[in-house]
Amino acid sequence: MLDRPEYWQSHYHGDGNARRLARGYSYSDRVRYYWPDSQIDDAFAHLVRNLADSPIPLPLISQYLPLQYVKVRSGELQPTPRELIINHIQDILAQYHTACEGQ
């Protein structure tokens, strides 16, 4: 993000620390601007390959993906990088769907 500030600079305000926190924890979906970048795509693929090389520790899944952890423990979900990523995205999209439906 620091190499391509045109996608976020006008949306994040404050001093350097406030902007750093906003880049990491904002609800704004700025990542969509970076997915087409081949370096980002290569780094993501490398990360997924690395994660697939060894079983992901359940405490790690529990800490960062608590909803997926419950599904893994119940046998509903396999603890593979792809399955965890897709399921987490589906959970987020379900929240958006619920919000759009007004429920």
CB-neighbour burial class of residue 51 (10 A; exposed 0-12, middle 13-18, buried 19+): middle
Is 71 domain-assigned? yes
Dump pLDDT digits (tens) for 53-90.
999 999 999 999 999 999 999 999 999 999 999 999 99
pLDDT beyond 80 at 10: yes
Q: How confident is the model at residue 29 (pLDDT cuts 50, 70, 90)?
A: low
CA–CA distance, 27 with 10 (Å, rounded to integer):
15
CA–CA distance, 28 with 23 (Å, rounded to integer):
9
Domain count, the chain: 1
The pLDDT score that the predictor gives to residue 103 is 61
Is 7 domain-assigned? no
Q: How confident is the model at residue 2 (pLDDT cuts 50, 70, 90)?
A: confident
Is 32 domain-assigned? no
Q: Which domain holds residue 89?
A: 54-103
